[in-house]
Amino acid sequence: MSWEESTKQKMLHLQLPTDPRWVNIAEMNIEDILVDHAYCEQKAASSCISLIVNFFDFPELVDTLTPVVAEEWGHFERVVEHLKKRGYPLGKPRKDEYVVKLSQFVKKGGSREQQLTEYLLMNALIEARSCERFKLLSKQIKDEELKKFYYELMVSEAGHYVNFIELARSIYDKEKVNARWNEWLAYEAEVLRNLELRGDRMH
C-alpha cells in the first residue's frame, strides 16, 4: 500500500471534499494563494506556540509541538521564497473565515484536559483540510516546482494532523475524543458547504 493510500485511509476522514473547481481558480490566482498560504503557516506556528504557553503543564504537548513550531515557521519561510522567486510581495494578512467559523465550535469550560482537547481537534481539522488542498495542488497545477513543494507539504501536514489527534487521545478519554472528533468533522463539512468558493484563500 502506498503512502498516499494508507494516509487516505487513516486520516482524511473529511466529510465533504473540496469543490474540484477550487484548484483551477486557485491556479489562476497563484499570487493570492501563496500570500494566504504564507499567513496560514505563520498562524499555524503561532497557534502551536499559544498551546505550549497556555498548556505548559502538559509535558507531552510541549515535547510534541515544539518541533512542529519550527516546521511551520520553516514552511512560512519557504512560501515567502516562492513569492520572491515569482516577483510577488508578501502582502497583508487576510481574514480567515474558515478558521473563524471553526473557532466558534470550540466548547468553553470543563477541565484543562477538555479545553486542550478542543484546541487540539480544531488544529487537527485545519491540518487535515490543508493536507487535502495541498494534495489537489500537487496533482493538478502546472507549475512543476510548486507541484513538488505542495507534495512535500502534504506529507508534512499529514504528520502534524497525527500529532494533534494522538495528543488529544493521550490527554483525554479516547472514546470521548473520537466522539467529539466526529462532531467536529460534521461541523466542518457544514462550514465548507456554506463558505463562498474563493481562489484567493487556502481554506
Sign of torsion over alpha carbons 11, 17, 21, 25:
negative
* Segments forming the whole domain that contains residue 41: 20-194
Residue pair 161/82 in contact by the 8 Å Cβ criterion: no
> In this model, does residue 48 exceed pLDDT 80?
yes
Query: What CATH number does the domain containing 53 carry?
Result: 1.20.1260.10
Average pLDDT over residues 108-122: 96
> In this model, does residue 8 exceed pLDDT 50?
no
Supply the pLDDT for residue 12. Answer: 58
> In this model, does residue 9 exceed pLDDT 90?
no
Sign of torsion over alpha carbons 100, 147, 154, 63:
negative
Of 95, 154, 89, nearest in space to 128 by CA? 154
pLDDT tens for residues 130-179? 999 999 999 999 999 999 999 999 988 888 998 999 999 999 999 999 99
Residue pair 102/191 in contact by the 8 Å Cβ criterion: yes
Does residue 77 lie within any of the structural domains? yes
Does residue 1 lie within any of the structural domains? no
Does residue 9 lie within any of the structural domains? no
* Residue 8 grid coordinates: 487516505
Residue pair 51/165 in contact by the 8 Å Cβ criterion: no
Give the count of domains, the chain: 1
> In this model, does residue 79 exceed pLDDT 60?
yes
Supply angle C-alpha 124, 125, 126, rounded to 5: 95
Does residue 130 lie within any of the structural domains? yes
Mean pLDDT over the full length of the chain: 91
> In this model, does residue 4 exceed pLDDT 70?
no
Does residue 183 lie within any of the structural domains? yes
Does residue 57 lie within any of the structural domains? yes
Average pLDDT over residues 57-82: 96
Supply the pLDDT for residue 167. Answer: 96
Supply the pLDDT for residue 85. Answer: 95
Which of 3-7, 61-65, 199-203 tops mean pLDDT?
A: 61-65
Does residue 170 lie within any of the structural domains? yes
Q: Which of 1-5, 62-66, 125-129 has the lowest mean pLDDT?
A: 1-5
Does residue 46 lie within any of the structural domains? yes
